[in-house]
Amino acid sequence: MTINKFLKMLESYYGKYERPLIRQIVEGYLGQFQESELEILNQRLILDYSTQYKCTPDVAILENIKKQINEEQRNKVNGNLIGTDRRRIGSEKKNTDMLNKILTGRI
């Protein structure tokens, strides 16, 4: 996923950035990620940051999501998360698969 596509997704899902400076800062922040990492960030953001806040995510939110992802990666043993209910992992995978279908227009 490119930075432009990521930003378009953010704004279509959460609403337009009301302040251009915040959008510009977010766009600069996203430059540190590879396209494959933006896919992961996008999926986790949708799962973890609700639209109930009625606020488009800023750098602080994105940084928190990135930290959560990195912490989970550090805690993996043989590819499995430690202390995680296996049923929950399966349901998250189903949610992620469904989200991917929606975002790629396959649904």
User: Per residue in 41-56, pLDDT tens?
Assistant: 999 999 999 888 789 9
pLDDT at 76: 72
For residue 44, the enclosing domain spans 3-79
Number of CB atoms found within 10 A of residue 49's CB:
19
Letter for the amino acid at 61? I
Q: For residue 96, what are its two tokens?
A: 């992620």
Q: Is residue 101 part of a domain?
A: no
- Answer whether residue 89 is part of any domain: no
User: Does 28 reside within a domain?
Assistant: yes
Is 64 within a domain? yes
Q: Do the beta carbons of residue 33 and residue 41 sit within 8 Å?
A: yes
Q: What is the pLDDT of residue 84?
A: 47
Q: What is the mean pLDDT of each run of 10 residues along the chain (107 residues)?
A: 95 93 95 91 92 90 91 70 46 61 64
Number of domains in the chain: 1
* Domain presence at residue 99: no
Q: Is residue 55 part of a domain?
A: yes
Domain assignment present for residue 92? The answer is no
Q: Which of 81, 51, 59 is nearest to 69 (CA)?
A: 81
Query: Does residue 50 belong to any structural domain of this protein?
Result: yes
Q: What is the pLDDT of residue 52?
A: 86
How much is the pLDDT for 62? 94
Cα angle for residues 44, 47, 51 (degrees, 5° grid):
120
pLDDT of residue 65: 92
